[in-house]
Amino acid sequence: MRLDEPVKFRQYSGYLDSTTGRHQFYWYIESELDPENAPVVLWLNGGPMCSSLLGLFTENGPFKADSNGTKLTMNQYSWNKVANVLYMETPAGVGFSYDEHPGPLINDNTFTAVATYFALESFFNKFPKLRKNPFYITGESYGGVYVPMLANEIYVQKSTINLQGIAIGNGKFDWTTADVSQVPTLSQYDFALGHGLISSHYYQSKLESCCSNDLAKRFRCDFMNPINKTKCDSVKKEPVAIINLYNIYDNCPLDRDPVNNSQSFAAYNTYNPNNKLIKQAEYTERPSYCPHSGHKEYMNRVDVRKALHVLNDAPEWSEYVGHQGYNIELRNGSQTFVDLIEKYRIAKILVYNGDFDSVCDFITDGRFVEGLGYEPTDEYRPWTVDGKPDGVEGGFIQHYEKGLSFLTVRGAGHAVPKDKPEAALHILKALVGFTKL
């Protein structure tokens, strides 16, 4: 590992025992601030089947790789500034995690939650002195499924893990027939209108043709089963092409290989916004002015794999292996949240969204949180990235009763810690109780 400055913390990596025959790769990075007593934070990228080491190198970890993977630099907004951070590749088949049994791997939401739970117990068995520390689960995108389901599993198992809260960025909480059919929802129409991606005339015509005349029901307008499907389908438009659906104001496509349409867009998840609204612009080459992170090249260096205790016969590391072998079931995520709050009395749930993301947009997630049915405890208001009244505005926040909060992050896309690292670190500090939002 080549660095121009000293590393001020210890780190560990290797494999955690999961369910029978399964082993999940981890990279544990101690806090720069009192690691023996600092909170322990688990980070999970989504996908499903996306490596959490992507988050380590491109979002909230202490290291950033140069373009060819030969040199690392330090991230001044790394989450291990205030917490012990555990990055785990889950489920088996992701990154360096593996299953001893031959044959194709089959994963689903429930099995992944159980397998990750047992790997987590294995971690605390390796580091027993940390079991007393406050523990938090964080993640993004399909982490909207991973994170609350893992938290629920910890309570179901009556674990002694000291779980205190969860935080999810730009999460996918529900999986509906609209997702399967790629039919946009009212929230997605609202997002597109608010960001100037569709005209007011088209928006109004579409709602008038597809939604109920009862204003009270328009909030739940069902584009899957409109009152008059013929009339609804007659209102059409040519979709607008966006360079990066995960950050609609980014001038660069996702830093993935290849950069063309389908595979690039699938980097985090398997669902696409319906092309009746917007679509991913197609590229055959990445523009030269767009930066490239060499974390993949770095992770596949022989010396790095040896230092990280990766199995000799482990496959080449990649940040996303595709969703084949992962069964995504229809689900309503609300009940899991309600159980965490009412049944298990979790202390804190924080949902945050970059407001430039069209894939898991802030309107959809804000309505999901509002739909849980908890009363606001104060006014929807701005927050600042340093907590000072005259500081830089970070976005807007709404607190609810029983430790539930929803906030937007101004100017961020799908990966908030990448786009707004200082704001993301402040969100983490609020989650673990070091500051307030």
Q: pTM for this one?
A: 0.94
Using the predicted structure, report yes or no on whether residue 260 has a pLDDT greater than 80: no
Q: Do 414 and 360 contact (CB within 8 A), yes or no? A: yes
- Least confident piece of the model among 34-38, 72-76, 134-138, 287-291: 287-291
3-state secondary structure of 177: helix
Question: Which pairing describes strands 40-44 and 22-29: parallel, antiparallel, or unpaired?
Answer: unpaired
Determine whether 101 is an active site residue. no
pLDDT of amino acid 284? 67
Query: Mean pLDDT over residues 150-156, rounded?
Result: 98
Report phi then psi at 336, rounded to 5: -60, -45
Q: Which of 18, 141, 187, 293 is catalytic?
A: 141
Q: Is the pLDDT of residue 12 over 50?
A: yes
| Residues 215-230: tens digit of each pLDDT | 655 566 888 888 888 9
| 165-203: pLDDT as tens digits | 999 999 999 998 888 778 889 999 999 999 999 999 999
Residue 1 confidence class, pLDDT cut points 50, 70, 90: low
Q: How many CB atoms lie within 10 A of CB 370?
A: 14
* CA–CA gap between residue 244 and residue 250 (Å, rounded): 6
**What are residue 13's phi and psi, to 5 degrees?**
-155, 165
pLDDT score at 259 = 40
323 carries an active-site annotation: no
The pLDDT value recorded for residue 275 is: 44
The pLDDT of residue 218: 56
Does the annotation mark 233 as catalytic?
no
**pLDDT score for 432:** 98
User: How confident is the model over 17-41, as a mean pLDDT?
Assistant: 96
Residue boundaries of the structural domains of the chain: 11-175+327-432, 177-280
pLDDT of amino acid 2: 62
Give residue-wise pLDDT tens across range 350-360.
Answer: 999 999 999 99
Region 407-417: mean pLDDT is: 98
**Res 164: pLDDT:** 98
- Per-residue pLDDT averaged across 279-302, rounded? 88
CB atoms within 10 A of CB 159: 16
Strand 135-140, strand 404-409: pairing: unpaired
Catalytic residue among 357, 361, 365, 419: 357
Q: Residue 95 and residue 192: Cα distance in Å, rounded?
A: 34
Identity (one letter) of the amino acid at 177? T
Architecture of domain 11-175+327-432: 3-Layer(aba) Sandwich (3.40)
